[in-house]
Chains A and B, each alone.
Chain A
Amino acid sequence: MIDIQGLSKSYQRKPALKNAVMKLEQGKIVGLLGPNGSGKTTLLRILVSELRADSGSVSIDGAKLSPALKAHISGLTTSDFMPEGMTIQEAANTYESFFKDFEMERFHQLLKEVSLSPDLKISSLSKGMKSQFALALTISRKAKLIVLDEPLDGVDPVAREDILRLIAAGFSPDSTLLVTSHLINELERLLDEVYFIQEGEIRYIGDVEAIRAEKQMSLDELYREVYRR
Chain B
Amino acid sequence: MTTLLKYEFNKLKKKSLWSMVTILIFAAFFLTAGYSSGQRINWDMPLLQQFLGMLSFFGLGILMILTFVAPFISSLFLFHHDLNDKHAVFEAYIPEPGWKRLTAKYIIYFLYILAGITISGVLAYLTFMVIKTAAPPNIRFGLNVEIASGLFLEIIKYILNAALGFMPIIVFVNFFVTLHAVIRHKIKGAVPVTWLTAAAAGISLSWLMDKLTAAQSGWFTGSILGLDPEMIFTFILAAIAFIWIARMLDTKTELK
How many A residues face the partner with a CB closer than 8 A?
31
- Please pick, from A50, A52, A70, A97, the residue contacting B89 in the complex, using a CB distance under 8 A: A50
- Report the stretch among A74-82, A184-192, A220-228 that lies at the interface: A74-82
Is B7's CB under 8 angstroms from A94's CB? yes
A90 and B90 CA atoms in complex are apart in Å by 14
- Please pick, from A12, A50, A74, A85, the residue contacting B255 in the complex, using a CB distance under 8 A: A50
Query: Please, which residue of chain A has its CB at the minimum distance from the CB of B2?
Result: A97
A42 and B147 CA atoms in complex are apart in Å by 65
A66 and B250 CA atoms in complex are apart in Å by 7
Is A81's CB under 8 angstroms from B254's CB? no
Query: Please, which residue of chain B has its CB at the minimum distance from the CB of A49?
Result: B92
- Report the stretch among B152-160, B180-188, B193-201, B205-213 that lies at the interface: B180-188
Residues in chain B near residue A12, CB distance under 8 A: 185-188
A99 and B188 CA atoms in complex are apart in Å by 36
Query: Please, which residue of chain A has its CB at the minimum distance from the CB of B101?
Result: A67
Is B14's CB under 8 angstroms from A86's CB? yes
Is A67's CB under 8 angstroms from B250's CB? yes
Question: Taking each of A71, A75, A83, A99, which has the highest tally of chain B beta carbons within 10 Å of its own beta carbon?
Answer: A83
Query: Please, which residue of chain B has its CB at the minimum distance from the CB of A70?
Result: B95
Query: Please, which residue of chain B has its CB at the minimum distance from the CB of A46?
Result: B254
A99 and B254 CA atoms in complex are apart in Å by 22
- Please pick, from B86, B93, B98, B254, the residue contacting A52 in the complex, using a CB distance under 8 A: B254
Residues in chain A near residue B185, CB distance under 8 A: 11-12, 51
| B94 touches A (CB below 8 Å) | yes
Contact with B along A77-120 (1 / 0, CB 8 A): 11011111110001000100111000000000000000000000
Query: Please, which residue of chain A has its CB at the minimum distance from the CB of B3?
Result: A97
| B96 touches A (CB below 8 Å) | yes
A51 and B181 CA atoms in complex are apart in Å by 10
Is B95's CB under 8 angstroms from A82's CB? no
| B97 touches A (CB below 8 Å) | yes
Is B96's CB under 8 angstroms from A83's CB? no
Residues in chain B near residue A80, CB distance under 8 A: 86
Is B89's CB under 8 angstroms from A77's CB? yes
A11 and B98 CA atoms in complex are apart in Å by 24
A73 and B94 CA atoms in complex are apart in Å by 10
A77 and B90 CA atoms in complex are apart in Å by 10
Question: Taking each of B86, B185, B250, B251, which has the highest tally of chain A beta carbons within 10 Å of its own beta carbon?
Answer: B185
Say how far B32's CB is from chain A's closest CB, in angstroms. 31
Query: Please, which residue of chain B has its CB at the minimum distance from the CB of A83?
Result: B87
- Please pick, from A67, A77, A97, the residue contacting B7 in the complex, using a CB distance under 8 A: A97
Query: Please, which residue of chain A has its CB at the minimum distance from the CB of B82?
Result: A83
Given contacts A12-B188, A97-B3, A98-B3, A83 and B254 within 8 Å (CB-CB): no
Is A45's CB under 8 angstroms from B255's CB? yes
Enumerate chain B interface residues (CB-CB to A < 8 A): 3, 6-7, 10-11, 14-15, 86-87, 89-90, 92-98, 185-188, 250-255
Q: Sample 25 A-B pairs with CB under 8 A, ordered by A number.
A: A12-B186, A12-B188, A48-B93, A50-B255, A52-B254, A66-B250, A67-B250, A68-B95, A68-B97, A70-B95, A71-B95, A74-B93, A78-B89, A80-B86, A81-B87, A81-B89, A83-B11, A83-B14, A83-B87, A83-B90, A84-B15, A98-B7, A98-B93, A98-B95, A98-B96
Known: A81-B89, A83-B10, A97-B3. 13 other contacts (CB 8 A): A52-B251, A52-B254, A67-B96, A67-B98, A67-B250, A68-B97, A71-B95, A81-B87, A83-B90, A84-B15, A84-B86, A97-B6, A98-B7
